[in-house]
């Protein structure tokens, strides 16, 4: 085990047993973590300035126990995510509580599919089921490598007992490709405030409760703001009492976290539609970016981010930005661009708009599609939507 990782494992073990909390990044707040805190992690800052979340040992233990119950085994964990974020730290916590060796990637090395295969080789040679957490971007690269004739990473994932996939929305096409290759993908939903993933494949972990509250985009379809209760909730935010009071609400039926996400609940299964503040209002119609991203991801075979940009006629115009790495050419059906950052021409755009209009509705059809080498990220696998909007603005006005 790498020396820094070994030290992190030791600090985590002591924190879970009542020792000093693990603080992967220097504290921004002058306020000391409350008693019982085992971990302080920063949020990704997708809703503004990052906040520091205090998680108690009880919450971390409850999350790990619920994950173990859902997966059916403690297993052996492999760390491929930065331990500065909750998803990476939860891999460490699960490994510590399972009492099995942790295998970790070099934190200074870039993720590579062949490197993932090498990392998984030793754990897969043992008797314990092997579990790993990835973000969609990592899985996309593994599948792209397999398509390019380097399938080692994909084959290794297919031998794992479970591959937790979270941190960002998973394009349906990516999920289908992975499962068709035998990868046991488990989609996770959660956040720093819930000690990481607390909903697996739409179903809450044992002890976790879900409900929907009316929100700005609530309508007859049943969409609302996702609220979460259960033993995995954080204590609160350091040095931000008002933010803590606004996010964590005590009621007769327990303590609930009000998220910023829209979703639907059907027979107890959660479908997340995206952040409430990401909804694009175009011509008076609400458009959920996640629905458009799912269609375009399937159509174009690439990572997609859909945003709204100011428009004199529509209020906001729906624009899609597609990640087309130089090695793989352009999105399916489009000509190879002479320079990156090009806008699809009228014929290409018409085809895309037609498909989206048929599947999601005319209002959701993007008025422009911009190709870029990669989508800007904030945190482990989270798309930086503010940076995407800036890309669109620099590329010029929509049609």
For 155-184, the DSSP string reads HHHHTSSEEEE-SSPPPHHHHHHHHHTT--
What whole-number distance in Å separates Cα of residue 99 and Cα of residue 76?
A: 9
Q: Give pLDDT, residue 329.
A: 39
Residues 6 or more apart in contact with residue 190 via CB below 8 angstroms? 166, 196, 197, 198, 199, 232
What whole-number distance in Å separates Cα of residue 165 and Cα of residue 202?
A: 12
Instruction: DSSP letter for 337, please.
Output: P
What whole-number distance in Å separates Cα of residue 285 and Cα of residue 282?
A: 5
Distances (CA, A) of 399 to 5, 281, 311, 349: 51, 17, 10, 10
Q: Give pLDDT, residue 326.
A: 54
Tokens of 131: 């579990």
Q: How far apart are the first and last CA of the chain?
A: 54
The b-or-e profile of 287-314 (16+ CB within 10 A means b, else e) is bbbbbbbbbbbbbbbbbbbbbbbebeeb
What whole-number distance in Å separates Cα of residue 365 and Cα of residue 320?
A: 9
Q: How would you write the pLDDT of the chain (399 residues) with one tens digit per residue?
A: 666 889 999 999 999 999 999 999 999 888 899 999 999 999 876 555 789 999 999 999 999 999 999 999 999 999 999 999 999 999 999 999 999 999 999 988 889 999 999 999 999 999 999 999 999 889 989 999 999 999 999 999 999 999 999 987 787 888 999 999 999 999 999 999 999 999 999 999 999 999 999 865 445 456 899 999 999 999 999 999 999 999 999 988 999 999 989 899 999 999 998 887 788 888 878 888 888 998 998 888 888 999 998 887 888 899 999 988 654 433 333 333 333 568 899 999 999 999 999 998 899 999 999 999 888 887 676 788 888 988 888 877 454
Domains and CATH numbers, the chain: 3-206 (3.40.50.12780), 279-395 (3.30.300.30)
Distances (CA, A) of 125 to 75, 128, 248: 13, 9, 44
């Amino acid at each position: 085990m790498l020396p820094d990782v070994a030290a992190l494992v030791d600090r985590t073990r002591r924190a879970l047993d009542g020792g000093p909390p693990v603080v992967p990044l220097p504290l921004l707040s002058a306020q000391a973590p409350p008693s019982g805190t085992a971990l302080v992690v920063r949020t990704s800052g997708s809703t503004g300035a990052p906040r520091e979340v205090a998680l108690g040992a009880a919450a971390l233990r409850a999350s790990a126990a619920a994950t173990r119950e859902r997966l059916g085994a403690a297993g052996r964990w492999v760390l491929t995510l930065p331990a500065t974020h909750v998803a990476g730290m939860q891999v460490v916590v699960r490994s510590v509580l399972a009492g099995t060796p942790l295998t970790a990637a070099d934190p200074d090395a870039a993720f590579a599919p062949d490197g993932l295969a090498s990392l998984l080789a030793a754990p897969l040679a043992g008797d314990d089921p092997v579990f790993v957490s990835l973000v969609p971007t990592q899985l996309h690269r593994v599948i792209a490598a397999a398509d390019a004739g380097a399938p080692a990473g994909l084959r290794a994932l297919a031998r794992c007992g479970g591959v937790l996939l979270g941190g960002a929305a998973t394009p349906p096409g990516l999920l289908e490709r992975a499962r068709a290759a035998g990868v046991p993908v488990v989609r996770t939903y959660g956040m720093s405030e819930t000690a990481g993933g607390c909903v697996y494949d739409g179903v809450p972990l044992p002890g976790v409760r879900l409900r929907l509250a009316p929100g700005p985009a609530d309508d007859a379809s049943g969409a609302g703001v996702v609220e979460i209760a259960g033993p995995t909730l954080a204590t609160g935010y350091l040095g931000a009492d008002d933010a803590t009071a606004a996010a964590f609400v005590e009621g007769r039926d327990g303590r609930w976290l009000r998220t910023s996400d829209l979703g639907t609940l059907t027979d107890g299964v959660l479908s997340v539609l995206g952040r409430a503040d990401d909804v694009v209002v175009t011509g008076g119609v609400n458009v959920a970016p996640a629905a458009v991203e799912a269609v375009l991801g399937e159509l174009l075979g690439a990572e997609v981010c859909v945003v709204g940009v100011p428009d004199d006629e529509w209020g906001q115009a729906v624009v899609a930005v597609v990640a087309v790495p130089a090695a793989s050419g352009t999105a399916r059906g489009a000509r190879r661009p002479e320079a990156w950052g090009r806008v699809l021409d009228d014929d290409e755009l018409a085809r895309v708009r037609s498909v989206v209009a048929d599947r999601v509705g005319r209002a959701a059809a993007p008025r422009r599609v911009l190709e870029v080498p990669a989508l800007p990220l904030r945190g482990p696998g989270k798309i930086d939507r503010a940076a995407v909007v800036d890309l669109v603005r620099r590329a010029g006005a929509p049609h």
